[in-house]
């Protein structure tokens, strides 16, 4: 605070930081909206459904302990648990006792869930290519990847993960 009780310059983002931050927020929010809309229209899956099913499809045997799944997709354990229960009701996942820790629960991708993610993936990938990658020259991809990985690494250092990995 300044002597007049006003926030100091250290409190605010610089003009360059503000432009970059607002650009990121606009892109993140709009991409989330567009991906959710496309998935719902094309496959009946929400973006949240896709996130869970994609993580399970990449896991060994299509199976992850709920806490590990939460860590993979960056959700709180309670959100993952509730969402997996909804996917179970639709036959896309099942819940079983963990092989690693008998006190824990694993989410398992069912055959129906695997079919759903396989069917949804091509349209989702096409949308990501068209909306995110198409406007970027090949020269911009590496610096973008480096910048995003630096932000992720900082998050990993500065913040406690939601759960799991």
From CA 128, how far away is CA 57, in angstroms rounded?
19
Query: Do 122 and 38 touch, CB atoms closer than 8 A?
Result: no
Q: pTM score, two decimals?
A: 0.86
Q: Which pLDDT tens digit goes with each residue over 129-141?
A: 999 999 999 999 9
Collect all residues with Cβ–Cβ distance below 8 Å to 62 and sequence separation of at least 6: 56, 108, 109, 113, 114
Mean pLDDT of the region 99-118: 95
Say if residues 43 and 125 touch (Cβ distance below 8 Å). Answer: no
pLDDT of residue 161: 72
- Strand partners of residue 105: 97
| CATH fit for domain 14-131+139-158, picks 1.10.10.10, 3.40.50.720, 1.10.3720.10, 1.10.10.60 | 1.10.10.10
Average pLDDT over residues 68-82: 94
Instruction: Output the pLDDT for position 11.
Output: 85
Report whether pLDDT(2) > 60: no
Element containing residue 164 per DSSP (H, E): none
Instruction: Give the rounded distance of the alpha carbon of 64 from its chain centre.
Output: 16
Question: Which pLDDT score, from 0 to 100, does residue 21 have?
Answer: 97
- Reply yes or no on whether the pLDDT at 35 is more than 80: yes
């Amino acid at each position: 605070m300044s002597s007049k009780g006003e926030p100091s310059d250290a409190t605010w983002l610089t003009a360059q930081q503000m432009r970059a931050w607002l650009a990121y927020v606009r892109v993140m929010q709009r991409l989330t909206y567009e991906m959710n809309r496309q998935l719902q229209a094309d496959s009946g899956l929400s973006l949240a459904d896709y996130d869970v099913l994609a993580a399970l499809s990449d896991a060994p045997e299509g199976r992850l302990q709920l806490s590990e799944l939460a860590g993979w997709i960056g959700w709180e354990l309670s959100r993952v648990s509730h969402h997996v229960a909804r996917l179970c009701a639709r036959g896309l996942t099942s819940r079983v006792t963990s092989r690693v820790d008998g006190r824990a629960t694993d989410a398992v991708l069912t055959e129906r869930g695997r079919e759903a993610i396989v069917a949804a993936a091509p349209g989702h990938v096409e949308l990501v290519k068209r909306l995110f990658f198409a406007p970027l020259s090949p020269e911009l991809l590496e610096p973008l990847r480096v910048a995003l990985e630096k932000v992720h690494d900082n998050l990993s250092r500065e913040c406690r993960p939601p759960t799991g990995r």
